[in-house]
A and B are shown apart, each in its own frame.
Chain A
Amino acid sequence: MIAFFVAVTTGVLSGFGVGGGTLLLLYLVSVAGVEQTTAQGINLLFFLPAALLAIPSHKKNGYLDPTIIRPAVVGGMVFAVVGAVLAHWLDQELLRQLWGGFLIGVGVLTLFR
């Protein structure tokens, strides 16, 4: 039940595109004690309905730019597979630390750009 409510809250943020998945990953690993790659898999599955159901509203409001989405998705598909395979090949603890470093880097970039 707690899992469900956490997912609703982070789902709102995911629909916004504001890092709901980041928060959910943190909950899964730090609070629920789920293993890193399992948490990552759950997070990916969780994002699918959240994004799918947020998109009609975004489209209606004219916030989606298909001229960006098309080339970005083409570029993303191959590397999405590479990244996912790499995640299963790397040491779990290293993966968690890389993730932490990645978050801090992007956060600082966003805040002080």
Chain B
Amino acid sequence: MQGEASEISKTPLFTHKSPHFSHTKREWGDFVYFLFGALAGGLNGLFGGGGGAILVPLLLSIGHLEERKAFATSVGVMLPISAISAVIYFLNGSVSVGEALPYVLGGAIGGILGGKWFSKANPVWLRRGFAILLIVSGVRSFL
């Protein structure tokens, strides 16, 4: 049992492809990712963003995902979650299409470029840059 544990420690914990996991563990994996989604979704709805900021570290540290997969998968998770939160903001009258339009157009172009350039980006640099970005943003919001 002990030897087995060290052997699997380098493989992703909850990957379905992993030969080390039985059906039961797979279901555990689903439940853990369900909770990750719930946490990231709740915070993303509350703050109108930042769901990826909590999801990426969770996928890296607990899910043991490779850096690029963690970032990209987080984008895939946050898209439908952000869409449903956006509907609530819209219904509450917090935001109008006119106000958001320049940002939506810019975001579209940025998204295309981001997707294309992503393979060339350095994962370690990505993670450190991301962390510094968060801390600086956080400190600034109190100033």
Q: Is the CB of A11 within 8 A of B115?
A: no
Within 8 A of A (CB), among B72-131: 72-86, 88-90, 92, 94-95, 97, 99-100, 102-119, 121, 126-131
Query: How many angstroms between the C-alpha atoms of A113 and B58 in the bound complex?
Result: 10
User: Which partner residue on chain B sits nearest A7 by CB separation?
Assistant: B106
Q: Is the CB of A82 within 8 A of B45?
A: yes
Query: How many angstroms between the C-alpha atoms of A85 and B15 in the bound complex?
Result: 34
User: Secondary structure of the A side of the interface?
Assistant: helix
Q: Is the CB of B39 within 8 A of A26?
A: no
Q: Which residues of A contact B45 (CB under 8 A)?
A: 79-87
Q: Which residues of A contact B127 (CB under 8 A)?
A: 110
B10 within 8 A of A: no
Interface size on A, residues (CB 8 A): 94
Q: Is the CB of A47 within 8 A of B89?
A: no
Q: Is the CB of B82 within 8 A of A77?
A: no
B23 within 8 A of A: no
Query: Which bracket fits the contact residues of B?
Result: 35 or more
User: Which partner residue on chain B sits nearest A54 by CB separation?
Assistant: B115
A33 within 8 A of B: no
A sample of 19 more A-B contacts (CB under 8 A), given A21-B49, A45-B95, A75-B38, is: A1-B102, A8-B110, A12-B113, A14-B107, A38-B99, A40-B47, A46-B103, A47-B78, A50-B107, A75-B37, A76-B42, A80-B82, A82-B42, A84-B85, A84-B88, A100-B140, A100-B141, A102-B43, A110-B134
- Interface set of A (CB-CB < 8 Å, partner B): 1, 3-26, 29-30, 37-58, 61, 63-65, 67-88, 90, 95-111, 113
- Interface set of B (CB-CB < 8 Å, partner A): 14-16, 29-31, 33-57, 59-61, 63, 65, 68-86, 88-90, 92, 94-95, 97, 99-100, 102-119, 121, 126-142
Closest 7 CB pairs of A and B: A11-B110, A15-B114, A40-B48, A7-B106, A83-B45, A41-B95, A76-B41
